């Protein structure tokens, strides 16, 4: 086994079939990783009649999916949306997601997802996951009311509000607050176990076996400190999560974020599947994109404040989702951003530790105490206030619900500098795959016998600018299922 820059054992090994004397185990479909994507793939492959074995490198399944709130971003008129009287359609859902990812999206994948989301929610409920028929209409990262439907993205913010009819699409397990992942994965893993999938824990996939035609026909895993070779007659499905825990990879692909990120994931997010897929011929795409979250709410009233950069200038409409703020914050000089707010709206953000850098009875006092360029903050606030009084935001189009002049002293300037708040980051790049999971080479041909899903691939969410809470788990489970079925269908 080789060593990479990080000193970590690499998994980028390919074993030629000609070098294999005998396999230790045989299966039809071999799934690597028992998180959201892997469990979904394993269950669907098994339900399609295949013998399935799962390798999980930690001592139990769940992965980052289990750590998450397991909000799923689904629309198009799901049973939950319909039961709560919410109007949405597959086309409206598509238009919203297309607005989120623009040119950086795979339209075939998006169409499949938008047309299949209604059925996918039924599938999640059929696993036994409880969803409460309650709609939370507030502005929070996760509804803390036990309700299962909420707005989680930029649906009501400019420019998205002009591109699709706003609809709430965050589907949360009932009464779970931030622990929906435990509920969701508890039910999903139970269904996987019942279905007769062979689960091997403390079993890290370390290599793929390829025949002379470069078809993947099996894999090697480290189990009980020895190499175990597994023959996979129909295919191997890589679902080992993203690479946010692999410092060598984040230094290379996300250099701006490497030093400031709070690495948001489980220890298994080492990029193993990405590197194995690449070694087998797979193409990597979108590797420089990541979710960057700056939870500037709750409380919702902070949305009335304005964000400025170190030039004292606004750069965003503050009613956006926290990952869109993250996307634009990293583009500001030194990653230094501040919230200017008055006494009427001041509060501390619930999820962030922030420093107040200046307070004053006038904007000028705040400006001089903070050291921002003289006159700039004053100009920004004057212009904002004049327009807010008229219910308009000509520069960034914040919705009128959140516009009120900031005119009640004392005033504060609060630092949200990225190197201080260290925003949570997880990766959005990986293997290029067909929507049905086949791993693609740079020339567009498929690596036979090799499939992948979840954060091991570049899926629906491809930039923090358009991300909404729930897009990752919805993507990993939806496309995990497709990859499992596709692998099972091979002869
Ligand atoms: C705290 C937190 C909250 C979040 N909340 C949400 C949310 O509410 N909604 C949302 O959409 N997203 C959320 N996310 C992001 C989301 O949880 C993940 O992006 C998503 O769950 C990843 O799913 P996955 O199946 O690709 O990977 P995982 O669920 O991480 O599964 C990968 C599995 O592969 C295993 N593995 C790794 N390497 C190997 C190997 N070599 N061999 C065998 N097994 C291996 C890992 O141990 C792991 O069990 C959250 C993330 C965090 C950390």
CATH of the domain at 38: 3.50.50.60
Q: For residue 165, give its domain range.
A: 72-175
Q: Is residue 4 part of a domain?
A: no
Mutate to test the pocket of ligand 1, among 72, 117, 199, 268 (most ligand atoms within 8 A of CB): 268
Q: Is residue 397 part of a domain?
A: yes
Single out the residue in 175, 203, 229 at which a domain terminates: 175
Identify the pLDDT of residue 491: 86
pLDDT tens string 305-340: 999 999 999 999 999 999 999 999 999 999 999 999
Q: Is residue 8 part of a domain?
A: no
* Ligand 1 atom index nearest CA of 477: 25
The verdict on 205 and 165 lying in the same domain is: no
Q: Is residue 214 part of a domain?
A: yes
The whole-angstrom separation of Cα 486 and Cα 491 is: 11
Contact 374, 367 (CB under 8 A): yes
DSSP letter for each residue of 222-290? EETTEEEEEEEEEEEEE----STT-HHHHHHH-HHHHTT-EE-S-TT-S-HHHHHHHHTTPPEE-TT-E
What's the 347 CA to ligand 1 centre distance in angstroms?
32
What's the 366 CA to ligand 1 centre distance in angstroms?
43
Q: How many domains does one find in the chain?
A: 3
The verdict on 188 and 133 lying in the same domain is: no
The verdict on 355 and 467 lying in the same domain is: no
Q: Is residue 7 part of a domain?
A: no
What's the 65 CA to ligand 1 centre distance in angstroms?
4
The verdict on 119 and 220 lying in the same domain is: no
294 CA to centre of own chain: 14
Q: Is residue 1 part of a domain?
A: no
What's the 268 CA to ligand 1 centre distance in angstroms?
8
What's the 266 CA to ligand 1 centre distance in angstroms?
7
Contact 377, 312 (CB under 8 A): yes
Q: Is residue 213 part of a domain?
A: yes
Is residue 40 within 6 Å of ligand 1 at its C-beta?
no
User: How many Cβ atoms from other residues are within 10 Å of residue 391's Cβ?
Assistant: 11
The verdict on 347 and 376 lying in the same domain is: yes
Identify the pLDDT of residue 4: 40
Tokens of 105: 């999206």
Q: Is residue 410 part of a domain?
A: yes
Is residue 53 within 6 Å of ligand 1 at its C-beta?
no
Residues of the chain with pLDDT under 70: 1-12
Is residue 35 within 6 Å of ligand 1 at its C-beta?
yes
The verdict on 343 and 205 lying in the same domain is: no
pLDDT tens string 337-371: 999 999 999 999 999 999 999 999 999 999 999 99
* Ligand 1 atom index nearest CA of 38: 25
Identify the pLDDT of residue 482: 98
Is residue 34 within 6 Å of ligand 1 at its C-beta?
yes
Contact 52, 42 (CB under 8 A): yes
């Amino acid at each position: 086994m080789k060593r990479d820059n990080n000193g970590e054992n690499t998994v980028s090994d390919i074993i030629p079939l000609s070098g294999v004397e005998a396999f230790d185990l045989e299966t039809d479909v071999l799934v690597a990783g028992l998180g959201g994507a892997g469990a979904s793939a394993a269950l669907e492959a098994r339900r399609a009649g295949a013998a399935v074995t799962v390798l999980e490198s930690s001592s139990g399944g769940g992965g980052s999916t289990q750590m998450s709130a397991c909000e799923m971003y689904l629309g198009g008129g799901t049973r939950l949306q319909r039961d709560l009287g919410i109007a949405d359609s597959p086309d409206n859902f598509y238009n919203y997601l297309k607005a989120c990812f623009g040119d950086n999206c795979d339209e075939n994948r998006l169409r499949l997802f938008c047309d299949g989301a209604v059925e996918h929610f039924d599938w999640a409920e059929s696993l036994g996951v409880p969803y409460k028929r309650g709609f939370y209409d507030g502005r929070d990262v996760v509804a803390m009311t036990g309700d299962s439907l909420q707005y989680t993205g930029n649906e009501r913010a400019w420019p998205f509000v002009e591109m699709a009819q706003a609809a709430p699409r965050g589907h949360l397990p009932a009464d779970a607050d931030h622990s929906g992942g435990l509920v969701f994965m508890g039910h999903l893993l139970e269904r996987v176990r019942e279905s007769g999938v062979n689960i091997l824990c403390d079993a890290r996939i370390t290599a793929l076996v390829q025949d002379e035609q470069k078809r993947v026909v099996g894999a090697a895993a480290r189990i009980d400190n020895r190499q175990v070779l597994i023959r996979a007659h129909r295919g191997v499905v890589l679902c080992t999560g993203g690479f946010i825990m692999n410092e060598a990879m984040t230094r290379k692909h996300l250099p701006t974020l490497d030093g400031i990120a709070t690495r948001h994931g489980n220890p298994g997010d080492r990029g193993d599947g990405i590197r194995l897929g690449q070694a087998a011929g797979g193409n990597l795409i979108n590797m420089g994109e990541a979710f960057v979250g700056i939870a500037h709410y709750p409380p919702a009233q902070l949305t009335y404040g304005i964000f400025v950069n170190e030039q004292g200038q606004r750069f965003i409409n503050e009613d956006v989702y926290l990952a869109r703020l993250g996307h634009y914050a990293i583009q500001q000089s030194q990653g230094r951003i501040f919230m200017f707010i008055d006494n009427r709206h001041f509060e501390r953000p619930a999820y962030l530790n922030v420093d107040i850098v200046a307070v004053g009875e006038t904007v000028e006092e705040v400006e001089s105490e903070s050291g921002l360029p003289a006159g700039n903050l004053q100009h920004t606030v004057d212009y904002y206030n004049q327009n807010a009084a008229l219910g308009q935001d000509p520069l960034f189009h914040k919705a009128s619900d959140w516009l009120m002049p900031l005119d009640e002293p004392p005033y504060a300037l609060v630092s949200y500098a990225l190197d201080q708040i260290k925003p949570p980051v997880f990766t959005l790049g990986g293997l290029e795959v067909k929507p049905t999971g086949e791993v693609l080479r740079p020339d567009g041909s498929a690596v036979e016998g090799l499939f992948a899903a979840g954060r091991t691939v570049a899926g629906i969410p491809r930039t923090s600018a358009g991300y909404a809470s729930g897009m990752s788990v919805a993507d990993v489970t939806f496309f995990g299922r497709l990859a499992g079925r596709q692998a099972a269908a091979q002869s």
